[in-house]
Amino acid sequence: MANINKGEFLGRLGQDAKLGTTGKTPVANFNIANNYGRKDAEGKYPVQWIKCALFGPRAESLAQYLVTGTQVIVWGPVELETYEKDGKSFTNLKVTVDDIQLIGGDKSAEGGSAPKAAAKGGKPKVSNEFSFDDDDENGPF
């Protein structure tokens, strides 16, 4: 019988994705914050940080949209990474992303998952050319 190792996580990016390469394969590395459980005494949910790696052409094309605060769902095999630092033991949850879905914009007031260039250089261009006339027989449905 085959084993199954696939996780599904919803969270927001803690910082912009870092685009690099492994050999000749593009890779976008990013972390997402996943809230879980019950609120603590201060009214906050515990947070689990999940390290994510997205490989291949999608890493290159999506990196510009994977910016701080963007909400995503990731799917892929899960791995626990343990290491020691200053005599303390730490464990990270890692996902090799098989699939990703951009859910919505960042948590800023303007929102939107604009590419980095637009996010840093001003607002992205938005077209308001679409209008719907109530008398139109070819309505949206």
d(CA 96, CA 88): 26
Residue 118 has pLDDT above 90, yes or no: no
State the DSSP code for 107: S
> Please, which pLDDT band fits residue 36 given cuts at 50, 70 and 90?
confident
* Strand duo 71-76 + 78-85: pairing: unpaired
- C-alpha neighbours within 13 Å on the C-beta side of residue 30: 30
Residue 137 scores a pLDDT above 80: no
Q: Left if phi > 0, otherwise alpha if psi is -120 to 50, otherwise beta: which for 97?
A: beta
pLDDT one-digit tens code per residue, 41-58:
999 999 999 999 999 999
Contact 26, 62 (CB under 8 A): no
Q: What is the mean pLDDT of residues 81-91?
A: 92
Phi-psi map region of 43: left, alpha, beta (phi>0 left; psi -120 to 50 alpha): left
CATH topology of domain 7-121: OB fold (Dihydrolipoamide Acetyltransferase, E2P) (2.40.50)
Instruction: Provide the residue ranges of all domains of the chain, joining segments of one domain with +.
Output: 7-121
